[in-house]
Amino acid sequence: MKKSSYFKGALTVSAGALVSKALGALYRIPLTALLGDAGMGVYQMVFPLYCMLLTVSSGGIPTGIARIISSNQCPFVERYALRVFACAGLLGAAAMFAAAAPLAAAQGEPAVALCCKVMCPSVLFVSVISVVRGYFQGRGNMLPTAVTEVSEQLLKVVAGLILCYVYRQDATHAVIAAVFAVTFAEALSAVYAFALYSSSPKPRSPLFHASKNCYKLILEYTLPLTLTAIALPACQLAESIVVVGVLREHITGATALWGIFSGCAVTLVNLPVSLTYGLAAAGVPRISPVAQSGDNEGAKRLALNSVVSTFAVSAPCAVALAAFAPMVCGMLFGSLSPSSRDLLVTLVRVMSVNAVSLSLVQTSSACLASLGMPLVSTFSQWLSGGLRILLSWLFTAFTPLSIVGAAVSANVCYLVAVLINIWYIIRCKNVGRRNSARTVFGRGARSVLR
């Protein structure tokens, strides 16, 4: 991929992600006013399980499929991927339906059960959307990714506001309506994404090709990426149970505090991260062919350039977020009480560093996948995620930080993951090969590390 095409693709995906995240952040303003702090807390309690199951069925698809397509290893791989991940999406939807009641009991919020059941079909729809995005990304066309992201977010916002306003007199029904809007938006977006794929020009199918090899490639490339991506929502799910449980033992309004942290502060911090999403997505078709050719230094140079570009974009955003936190929180979340808004400002300032570290995790994980080392990011994400849960429990239970302790633990978590990822990118020796866990972390590490 040429440098100009790379930056054009990165800009396209970043613009789509930014518009999508901006819509999501703006959506929180009227949604918080309609649902209240407690309602937002319930709304956010549903999402960790949803995101975890969503990741299982679709998390590694775009990057994995793009990697296979851009390196020309399997013709029409997206057709096999649609079959695989449609089945995975169905299983994920069924798992979410089955886990609804146990999760509601663990979190102490009965409304969570019905919300999970209403949202579970989305897992299937997003699986289809993700395959289509990977198909186009592998061919260097980032526009469908941006268009589908914006369209599904816009549909969610419009449907959510209309339904929440209709049911505004009943907080529980309003939360369920907001959750249903997600399912509605994903269903329409899946239809649109499949229509885009069906209408796109395709090369003629070869007479013979080994489908078994394609299925094997899909699993080899997407499974490690899925295990990597699932770490964050899995840890968020555990954190929501641990932190809310600890807070309930000491103060009232624990659900509301979780809503401010997860629904408001995290949303604002994730806005700058969306700016760098395009650098991660566009880097895969750029780095993968170089890595596949065996050009170790060239592939590593491209990967490190992506990391440096990500830092250059995210660092000023983090500084601006910390500096203008009171103004931004006042403008976007004016419906919060003064004490809640002050807490939100504190959380945003503490977590503003995550705008850099999470962006770097996102880009470095994609680079490791392109270099043929996705297991490294899997290891770093799970290690740092476990550390996050432990620190969140310690900070909330044994210090006066309260919910701010969860913000501090998130900072530590992402910093650890970034350092591990970048260290392996620098030390990687055999690019382009799909390294096993033994090769990367076992006795054979000498073949990967200098």
> What digits encode the pLDDT tens for the residues 20-55?
877 877 887 888 888 887 788 888 788 777 877 766
Q: If we measure between CA atoms, which residue out of 48, 44, 16 comes closest to residue 32? A: 44
What is the pLDDT at residue 432?
54
What is the pLDDT at residue 440?
45
pLDDT higher for 66 or 130?
130
pLDDT in tens, 91-126: 889 999 999 999 888 878 888 899 999 999 998 898
- Please name the residues in contact with 87: beta carbons below 8 A apart, sequence gap of 6 or more: none
pLDDT higher for 328 or 211?
328
Q: Residue 189 pLDDT > 70, yes or no? A: yes
What is the pLDDT at residue 357?
93
Across the chain, mean pLDDT equals 82
Q: What distance in Å separates the CA atoms of residue 164 and residue 122, rounded to the nearest whole number?
A: 19
Where is average pLDDT lowest: 64-68, 132-136, 249-253? 64-68
Structure tokens at 246: 């600890």
What is the pLDDT at residue 59?
59
Q: Residue 256 pLDDT > 80, yes or no? A: yes
Q: Predicted confidence band at 420 (pLDDT cuts at 50, 70, 90)?
A: very high
What is the pLDDT at residue 450?
36
Q: What distance in Å separates the CA atoms of residue 365 and residue 228, rounded to the nearest whole number?
A: 8
What is the pLDDT at residue 447?
35
pLDDT in tens, 163-188: 999 988 888 889 999 999 999 999 99
Q: Decide if 89 contacts 58 (C-beta within 8 A).
A: yes
Q: Predicted confidence band at 449 (pLDDT cuts at 50, 70, 90)?
A: very low
What is the pLDDT at residue 360?
92
What is the pLDDT at residue 212?
60
Q: What distance in Å separates the CA atoms of residue 26 and residue 6, rounded to the nearest whole number?
A: 30
Q: Residue 404 pLDDT > 90, yes or no? A: yes
What radius of gyration, in Å, describes the C-alpha atoms of the chain?
21
Q: Decide if 273 contacts 356 (C-beta within 8 A).
A: no
Where is average pLDDT lowest: 140-154, 216-230, 232-246, 377-391? 216-230
- pLDDT > 90 fraction of the chain, expressed in percent and rounded: 24
Q: Decide if 100 contacts 112 (C-beta within 8 A).
A: yes
Residues in the chain, total: 450
- pLDDT > 70 fraction of the chain, expressed in percent and rounded: 87
The pLDDT of 54-65, averaged and rounded, is 68
Q: Decide if 438 contacts 444 (C-beta within 8 A).
A: yes
What is the pLDDT at residue 431?
63
What is the pLDDT at residue 121?
92
Q: If we measure between CA atoms, which residue out of 332, 338, 354 comes closest to residue 406? A: 354
pLDDT in tens, 306-358: 888 889 989 999 999 999 999 988 888 877 889 999 999 999 999 999 999 99
What is the pLDDT at residue 211?
57
Q: What distance in Å separates the CA atoms of residue 171 and residue 33, rounded to the nearest whole number?
A: 11
What is the pLDDT at residue 263?
80
pLDDT higher for 59 or 137?
137
Q: Residue 439 pLDDT > 50, yes or no? A: no
What is the pLDDT at residue 207?
45
What is the pLDDT at residue 283?
63
Where b means 16+ CB within 10 Å and e means fewer, 66-86 reads bbbbbbeebebbbbbbbebbe
Where is average pLDDT lowest: 15-29, 194-208, 253-267? 194-208
pLDDT higher for 217 or 254?
254
The pLDDT of 141-146, averaged and rounded, is 83
Give the Cβ contact number of residue 401 at 10 Å.
16
What is the pLDDT at residue 284?
67
The pLDDT of 227-235, averaged and rounded, is 78
